[in-house]
């Protein structure tokens, strides 16, 4: 619509036909860095880390991090990319010991190097982005919940290697292609560990949930 209006204005008598419409925002750059997937200042505990044993195998020989948080917490993109998968129609029901009884909502974002980050257990209809949409690190992409294989409200975060790549980390190769990643705002190695308290420095960008 904006481009059409500019074309009409440019055609008016006395207007310079060389006038250009406003430039569209450039796609968010992907610098390859990860920040915690919740807003700056929010601190929480890690109830389960990489290679965990709970949750029907949701961490067994996998690189995945759980972040405890109240239902409805704003979830931020940890890294820039393009949304390539979404599910948000699962009811707000959790089934920690019976994965056949319910399902979990999630958003997955593909990065420029082919890796993909998944954000799980969102509330029903809590995904605020669409497949094919570009998002920048810090953009609000959804709301946390307690859907699927979940014992208590939290965000389950994991990154998968690019197609053909090896999912691996400190514990060795994973069984599902997941890989270990380090966060810029986590002290030490950058890898959140079991029962560690972490505090985000991820600055809120565009809030897609507010639209």
Give the structural domain span for 71.
Answer: 25-211
Note the pLDDT of residue 29. Answer: 80
Residue 96 lies in a domain: yes
3-state secondary structure of 10: helix
| Below-70 pLDDT ranges, the chain | 1-28, 54-57, 99
Burial 33-59 (b: 16+ CB within 10 A, else e): ebbbbbbeebebebbbbbbbeebeebb
Residue 7 lies in a domain: no
By C-alpha distance, which of 177, 176, 161, 185 is closest to 44? Answer: 185
Strand partners, 134: 82
Please state the pTM of the whole predicted model: 0.85
Note the pLDDT of residue 53. Answer: 75
CA distances from 35 to 9, 48, 79, 106 (A): 44, 18, 7, 18
Residue 2 lies in a domain: no
Residue 29 lies in a domain: yes
Total tally of structural domains belonging to the chain: 1
Residue 65 lies in a domain: yes
Note the pLDDT of residue 54. Answer: 63
Residue 87 lies in a domain: yes
Note the pLDDT of residue 19. Answer: 41
CATH number at residue 209: 2.70.70.10
Residue 210 lies in a domain: yes
Q: What are the start-end ranges of the E strands in 56-99?
A: 64-68, 74-76, 81-87
Cβ neighbours around 96 below 10 Å, total: 17
DSSP output for 98-161: -TTS---EEEEEE-TTS-EEEEEEEEEEEE---TT-EE-TT-EEEEEB--BS-SSSEEEEEEEP
Q: Which two tokens stand for residue 178?
A: 């997941």
Residue 1 lies in a domain: no
């Amino acid at each position: 619509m904006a481009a059409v209006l500019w074309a009409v204005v440019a055609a008016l008598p006395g207007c310079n036909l060389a006038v250009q419409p406003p430039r569209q925002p450039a796609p968010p750059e992907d610098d390859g860095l990860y920040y915690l997937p919740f807003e700056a200042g929010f601190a929480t505990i890690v109830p389960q880390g990489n290679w965990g044993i709970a949750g029907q195998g949701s961490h067994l020989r996998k690189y995945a991090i759980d972040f405890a948080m109240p239902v409805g917490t704003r979830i931020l993109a940890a890294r820039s990319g393009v949304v390539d998968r979404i599910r948000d129609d699962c009811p707000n029901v959790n089934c920690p010991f019976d994965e056949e009884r319910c399902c979990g909502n999630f958003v997955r974002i593909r990065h420029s190097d082919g890796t993909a980050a998944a954000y799980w257990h969102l509330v029903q209809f809590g995904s605020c982005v669409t497949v094919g949409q570009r998002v920048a690190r810090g953009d609000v992409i959804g709301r946390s919940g307690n859907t699927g294989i979940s014992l208590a409200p939290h965000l389950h975060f994991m990154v998968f290697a690019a197609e053909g790549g090896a999912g691996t980390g400190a514990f060795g190769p994973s069984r599902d292609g997941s890989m270990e990643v380090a966060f810029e705002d986590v002290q030490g190695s950058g890898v959140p560990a079991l029962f560690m308290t972490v505090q985000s420095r991820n600055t809120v960008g565009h809030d897609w949930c507010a639209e």
